Structure formats: C-alpha cells, structure tokens
Amino acid sequence: MSHFPAIAAGLFSAAAWGVASLLFTRFLRDRSDERPPSPAGANLFKNTLALLCFLAIWPLMGGALPGGSTTMWLLVSGALGFALGDSLYFAALPRCGVQTAAMVGQLNVPLAALFGFLFKGESLGLVTLIGMGLSMGGVLLVLSDPILNGKRKGGTAYRSGLLFALIHAVTIAAGIYVGHAGIKSVDIMPGTIVRIVGGMIGGLMLAPLWGFLANRLGDKQDSPAREVKAVLEPFRRRDWWKALALASCAGSVVGLIPYHIALRDLPSGVSAAMFSTTPLFTLLMGRFIGERFGPRAAAGTVVGFIGVVIVLNGL
C-alpha cells in the first residue's frame, strides 16, 4: 500500500504546527507589556480545546478505546509530547524566536539516532554521521543569523530559550518512539483522545516543576505556587480566548488527526522527517506576520532539513 496519503498527512501536520507556532508567537509579542500565559497554562487550554473538539467528532468517526498496556503507552506518549514537549516549545518561542526554536527542535531526529547508539548499541554509519553534522550545521547557521537573532543573542532569556528548545527536541524524539509503539494498533480518533488526556494530566503535574525551572533559569518572579495558579489563567481571561483558540485549532485540532495518521502508518524515521519540515513552513510563512529572516537562517533551515533526511537514510 502506498505511503503517499500518510506522507501528505505528515506534511500537512507540520504546516499546521508551523501556523500555530507563528500565531502563538504573535500572541506573546502583542502582550509584551503584560504577563503572558504560562507555557503550561497555554498548553492546557490548547489540549482542552482539542479534547472537546475530538469528543464531539468521535461518534461520527467511530472507533473503540484501546485497553491495557496500549492505553498506558498512549498516555505516556501524550505526557511527553503534548505536556512536556509542547510546554517547552511554547516557552522557547518568545525567548529565542519561532525559527530558532523550530530549528533546535528539529534536532530530535539526530538525537534519536545518537540515543540508539548510546543506549541500544545501534551502529552509526558514515552517512548517518554526515547527516548529523549537517543538521547541527544548519542549526548553527540559524543561530548565527544577525537579522534573526541579533537583538536577542547573549541575554539570559535567549539562552534559556535555546535550552528549552533543546530539551523539547529530546522529549519529541522520545514521544515519537513511544507514540508509534502505542498508536499503530488502535483507531485514530480514540488513540488521539487518549494521548490528549495524557497531555492534560501531564501538564497539570508539570506546572509546579515548570515554575521551579523558570525561577532557576532567571525568572525570579516565577515559582511553583505561582505556576499552579497561572495554569488556569487562560480559562479566566476572555480577552485571550480568540488568539489562543486560533493557535490551538491550527496546531492541535486541524493538524492533530493528520499527525496521528502519519505516526500510525509510517515508519518512525519517515514520520519524524515529515514532522521536521515545520521550520521550512515557518520560514515561508513567517513573512506574513512580520518575522524577519536573513540569508543564514534560510540556508541553515534548508541545510538542517537535508541533514535530517540523510540521517534517516543512514539508519
């Protein structure tokens, strides 16, 4: 059976996540004079909206809930991807910018290959090593772009944003592996719903930890107690609903079913490559909302994606 529909679904999902990234970045920029929603709070809003939408659609699409160990795999995958991973990504966006955050997040593919070598004894051939080098080179090109990062570079917020994006890449690599293991044998809609529930549970559990990390990384106004309170703030702020709903619909409603189709029907490496095209889409679409990219950012984005493809061909 041809993989073309699943590949198209993966590319569509990456494009939708790119739109969501840009919308969320603009939302934070427009509210630079006030305390923005916490990453965990914005994430909980996104996941709640997606859950309500999919619960409404489920009777139309059908499908049975998975049971036993499969449900646990899906819950863990949702906690890694929709809770920890997305919260870290949202935190990175205003600190280091959408293109930088997306490119550093793209390192999940070579990181997965490196983890396989370190922890599972998998071999790393010359082709894979070349691809890993190109991926890192692409990221460094983006980071060196004076137009893209010149005003942010060197500050505490910028450095913490890079760290958040890097940890995001690690969690996405783990989430893709776990999610592929869990969702390949279940119906798309109930499998998606279980992963979202895992993301919501994980987000609520991570809020205190998130406050602690933010405080340690330079935000002295943040704390575990404040983050627990802030996680529900997006539900109280009606003036935030429209912007958050648009970003959430793009990334977690319109793009999530195609994401899970690609995750279920493609090999892990191929699905990872499809999801790693997000920086290409943000590069193309960023101009429409005022993002400025220099030649290094454009070249680095393309080189980084080529590196990802080469890594996957070498596995």
Question: pLDDT, tens digit, for every residue of 174-215?
Answer: 766 665 555 666 787 888 898 899 989 988 887 787 678 777
Contact assessment for residue 99 and residue 141, using Cβ atoms and an 8 Å cutoff: no
Decide: 209 and 147 in contact? Cβ < 8 Å.
no
Tens-place pLDDT, residues 38-77: 777 888 999 999 999 999 989 888 888 887 778 888 888 8
What pTM value is reported for the model?
Answer: 0.83
End-to-end alpha carbon distance in the chain: 22
The number of angstroms, rounded, from the C-alpha of 199 to the middle of its chain's C-alpha atoms is 12
Report pLDDT for 1: 45
Q: How far is it, in rounded angstroms, from Cα 248 to Cα 189?
A: 18
266-286 pLDDT, tens per residue?
776 677 778 888 998 998 888
Confidence of residue 152 (pLDDT cuts 50, 70, 90): low
Query: Can you tell me the distance from the alpha carbon of 272 to that of 7, in angstroms, rounded to the nearest whole number?
Result: 11
The b-or-e profile of 184-218 (16+ CB within 10 A means b, else e) is eebbbbbbbbbbbbbbbbbbeebbbebbebbbebe
Contact by Cβ (8 Å): 142, 301? yes
